[in-house]
Amino acid sequence: MKQMTLAILVAGSLACPVQAAVTVKDDAGQTVTVNKPALRVISMAPHVTELLFAAGGGSHVVGAVNYSDYPEAAKSIPRIGSNREIDIERVIALKPDLIVAWMHNSSERQIDLVRKLGVPVFQSDPQSLDSIPESVLRLGRLMGTDAAAEATATQLRKQLAALRAQYARRPPVRTFYQVWDKPLYTLSGKSILTDAMRLCGGVNIFDSLNVVAPIVTIESVLQANPEAIIATAEKNYSGVELWKQYGSVQAVRNKNLFTLDGNLLNRAGPRMIEGTAAMCEVLEQARKHRAAK
């Protein structure tokens, strides 16, 4: 009888293997380990929320910051504050087993705060378009949703490859990307946005600035004389209207003032590849305007 009982226990242990811990590197190069798949995840940035859903872990997200509004299901996730200020008591009450934070200028204090909870923290800051599908894969591993993450990553890589093939060796277009107008600020070569622009054959006129999101002057844009100006569609924001009075600027003369969806370009999530395709299309229009003159 004892031998039969032992056999049953051994068979049971083989049928239900203990799940091994999972370890990945985050975007800060730090090791993140979960002892079992993370089932209660908190997102500290809108782009992070999109990455988690894309990795197949939407049902695992128990808390998110303001503006986490995509996909539609994300709108119903309980809020824990903003990407600048979180409510740590809400975070504790949600009992997370993984926190995915955004590395930005004001994030250090918040990340230090959540680390004190003893919960694994994955710092997310994709620096290139290629790192977006890679982020999906790593988050999928941490949540145990590898199959869904792999399917998404494969599709994103195919989209990127198709864009590169389509716009390889296209003539360069010197471009100003306007994030906001009061104050007037842009994104430099340190931003993933510039990687997207390069794929399209665009040249960021403020590529060399050291700050990721620098404030610039109207005069500096006029002096650089971009061939195309791209702004985003936001509430209470004049966008490209600002530049119509400056007829000497090449972008104005050639009717290369474009407006794109900021949610597709200012968030380093899966939809940024869709936003890159839109950017490539408008820069191709700028080339056609050049040829027509």
Is the peptide bond between 71 and the residue preceding it cis, with omega within 30 degrees of 0? yes
In a domain, 1, yes or no: no
As a whole number of angstroms, the distance between CA 78 and CA 75 comes to: 8
At 108 the pLDDT is 74
pLDDT band for position 9 (cuts 50, 70, 90): very low
In a domain, 285, yes or no: yes
At 172 the pLDDT is 97
Residues 46, 152 within the same domain: yes
Q: Which of 1-5, 119-123, 203-207, 289-293 has the lowest mean pLDDT?
A: 1-5
Mean pLDDT value across the chain: 91
Residues 15, 151 within the same domain: yes
Residues 48, 111 within the same domain: yes
At 188 the pLDDT is 95
Structure tokens at 228: 């195309």
Residues 218, 243 within the same domain: yes
As a whole number of angstroms, the distance between CA 176 and CA 231 comes to: 8
In a domain, 3, yes or no: no
Residues 116, 203 within the same domain: no
pLDDT band for position 239 (cuts 50, 70, 90): confident
In a domain, 4, yes or no: no
Residues 129, 91 within the same domain: yes
In a domain, 242, yes or no: yes
Residue 120 · residue 33 · CB < 8 Å: yes
Structural domain containing residue 43: 11-156
Residues 16, 145 within the same domain: yes
In a domain, 185, yes or no: yes
Residues in Cβ contact with 49 at an 8 Å cutoff, skipping those fewer than 6 apart: 43, 61, 64, 65, 68, 70, 74, 77, 269
Residue 280 · residue 144 · CB < 8 Å: no
Residues 189, 261 within the same domain: yes
At 4 the pLDDT is 44
How many domains does the chain contain in total? 2
Structure tokens at 170: 């296209």
At 105 the pLDDT is 57
- Evaluate if residue 12 carries a pLDDT over 80: no
3 φ/ψ angles, rounded to the nearest 5 degrees: -65, -40
**Dihedral in degrees, nearest 10, Cα atoms 70, 75, 76, 80:** 100
The CATH number linked to 146 is 3.40.50.1980
At 110 the pLDDT is 78
Strand segments, DSSP code E, in the chain are 22-25, 31-34, 41-43, 61-64, 98-102, 121-124, 173-178, 180-181, 184-185, 202-204, 228-232, 257-260
As a whole number of angstroms, the distance between CA 223 and CA 218 comes to: 9
At 47 the pLDDT is 96
- Evaluate if residue 139 carries a pLDDT over 80: yes
Q: Which of 18-22, 30-34, 66-70 has the lowest mean pLDDT?
A: 18-22
| Domain end call among 124, 156, 188 | 156
Residues 26, 116 within the same domain: yes
pLDDT band for position 137 (cuts 50, 70, 90): very high
Residue indicated by tokens 């195919």: 158
Strand partners, 259: 231
As a whole number of angstroms, the distance between CA 55 and CA 68 comes to: 16
As a whole number of angstroms, the distance between CA 280 and CA 197 comes to: 8
- Evaluate if residue 10 carries a pLDDT over 70: no
- Evaluate if residue 219 carries a pLDDT over 80: yes
Tens digits of per-residue pLDDT, 66-105?
999 999 999 999 999 987 888 999 999 999 999 999 976 5
Q: What is the mean pLDDT of residues 118-127?
A: 94
In a domain, 101, yes or no: yes
Q: What is the mean pLDDT of residues 279-293?
A: 91
Counting residues of the chain whose pLDDT is more than 70, the rounded percentage is 91
At 293 the pLDDT is 64
| Parallel/antiparallel/unpaired status of strands 180-181 and 98-102 | unpaired
Among 195, 189, 197, residue whose Cα is nearest residue 258:
197
